[in-house]
């Protein structure tokens, strides 16, 4: 395969809003990596490059077993690219194909993700685009949060978000994101964790309409159907945990992803 940033490009792993991700090999280290590149011509705007830098700087702060590690930022044909830890097990989106999971597996996965986000928040990084296609799985199934391209660096430096931009994917967007300008903090990630838990428990996110616009309207104004109505027999405790993440008002959600993780652990041990 062709060489990019010192890596041999092997195959396409995925495409997102900004570019393409390849499986690649670093010959010197004899290891596989994921190579994330901006597609030239598709969106090589300074805005995309700025987001790319944000992504690099955000993940560079983070070293956690459940967060995809960034190895290096490189350049190819004048465009930035990221060398990332390779997650061989695909994405959570692929595992969430409309089929509800075993309750324990759902709660355990949610706890792991909550701990990882709590770690990121403690280091000043809010993800803001948490969703199943951005949760990768290692070869052994370990979940790894990826794609910090919309992350906000809370301490030091300007936020790159221009107010009014609708970023992220509607079904996983917190109401304060869906409504445009508004304070988006760590509890927006708590909301997204609630959507992911809901989807693991019921097979579908709480809000998913015909159009993005309709979905956003529901996210802002419609109360979710209790997960227990879609999954009879579901523990009331777990239902309560899930709905607390999905509160419309950020102040009514868990104050931190850590508190969510603690409640999930209590449920699992209870
Ligand atoms: P975008 O910002 O364009 O959404 P992502 O970082 O989410 O890009 O990557 C797009 C897709 O590429 C992911 O959904 C996943 O399928 C794949 N991918 C990304 N990073 C990795 C990785 N480190 N290991 C394996 N696959 C990856
Ligand atoms: Mg993505
Ligand atoms: Mg992205």
Reduce the DSSP state of residue 144 to 3 states and report it: strand
Give, for 176, the enclosing helix (H) or strand (E).
helix 175-178
Give, for 13, the enclosing helix (H) or strand (E).
strand 7-15
Closest ligand 1 atom, CA of 19?
3
> pTM above the 0.90 mark?
yes
Q: State which of 7, 10, 12, 13 you would mutate to test the pocket of ligand 1, scoring each by most atoms of that ligand within 8 A of its C-beta.
A: 13
Inform me whether the pLDDT recorded for 160 exceeds 50: no
ipTM over cut 0.95: yes
Could you read off the pLDDT of 185-195 as tens digits, one per residue?
Answer: 999 999 999 99
Exactly one of 43, 77, 118, 129 is catalytic; name it: 129
Residue of the CA atom closest to atom 16 of ligand 1: 14
Could you read off the pLDDT of 122-135 as tens digits, one per residue?
Answer: 999 999 999 999 99
Q: Ligand 2 centre and the CA of 149: distance in Å?
A: 8
Q: Which residues line ligand 1 (CB under 6 A)?
A: 13-14, 16-19, 21, 34, 36, 68, 84-87, 91, 133-134, 136, 146-147, 149
Residue for token pair 């301490």:
155
Q: Considering only CA atoms, which of 219, 204, 240 is closest in space to residue 168?
A: 219
Inform me whether the pLDDT recorded for 46 exceeds 80: no
Q: Report the range of poorest mean pLDDT among 18-32, 107-121, 222-236, 252-266.
A: 18-32
What pLDDT was estimated at residue 65? 98
Angle between helical axes of 257-269 and 186-202 (0-180°, round to 10): 30
How far apart CA 92 and CA 199 sit, in angstroms, is 11
Could you read off the pLDDT of 101-117 as tens digits, one per residue?
Answer: 999 999 999 999 999 99
In the annotation, is 129 catalytic?
yes
What pLDDT was estimated at residue 45? 62
Could you read off the pLDDT of 177-218 as tens digits, one per residue?
Answer: 988 666 789 999 999 999 999 999 999 999 999 999 999 999
Q: Ligand 2 centre and the CA of 199: distance in Å?
A: 18
Cβ neighbours for 94, distance < 8 A, ≥ 6 positions apart = none
Inform me whether the pLDDT recorded for 14 exceeds 50: yes
In which order are the strands placed within the sheet that holds 19-26?
A: 3-4, 7-15, 19-26, 31-38, 79-85, 70-76
């Amino acid at each position: 395969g062709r060489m990019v940033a010192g890596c041999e490009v092997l195959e396409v792993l995925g495409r997102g809003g900004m570019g393409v991700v390849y499986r690649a090999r670093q010959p010197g280290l004899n290891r596989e990596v994921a190579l994330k590149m901006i597609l030239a011509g598709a969106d090589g705007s300074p805005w995309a490059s700025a987001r790319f830098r944000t992504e690099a700087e955000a993940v560079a702060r983070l070293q956690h077993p459940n967060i995809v590690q960034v190895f290096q930022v490189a350049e190819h044909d004048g465009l930035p690219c990221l060398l990332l830890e390779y997650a061989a097990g695909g994405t959570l989106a692929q595992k969430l194909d409309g089929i509800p999971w075993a309750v324990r597996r759902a709660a355990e996965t949610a706890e792991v993700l909550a701990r990882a986000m709590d770690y990121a928040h403690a280091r000043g990084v809010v993800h803001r685009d948490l969703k199943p296609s951005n949760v990768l799985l290692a070869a052994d199934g370990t979940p790894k949060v990826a794609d910090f391209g919309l992350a906000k660096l809370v301490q030091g430096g300007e936020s790159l978000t221009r107010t009014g931009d609708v970023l992220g994917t509607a079904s996983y967007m917190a109401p304060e994101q869906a409504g445009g300008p508004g304070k988006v903090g760590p509890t927006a990630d708590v909301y997204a964790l609630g959507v992911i838990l809901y989807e693991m428990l019921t097979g579908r996110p709480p809000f998913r309409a015909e159009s993005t616009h309709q979905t956003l309207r529901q996210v802002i104004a419609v109360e979710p159907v209790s997960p227990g109505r879609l999954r009879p027999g579901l523990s009331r405790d777990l239902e309560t945990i899930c709905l607390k993440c999905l509160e419309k008002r950020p102040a009514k959600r868990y104050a931190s992803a850590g508190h969510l993780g603690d409640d999930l652990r209590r449920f699992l041990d209870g």
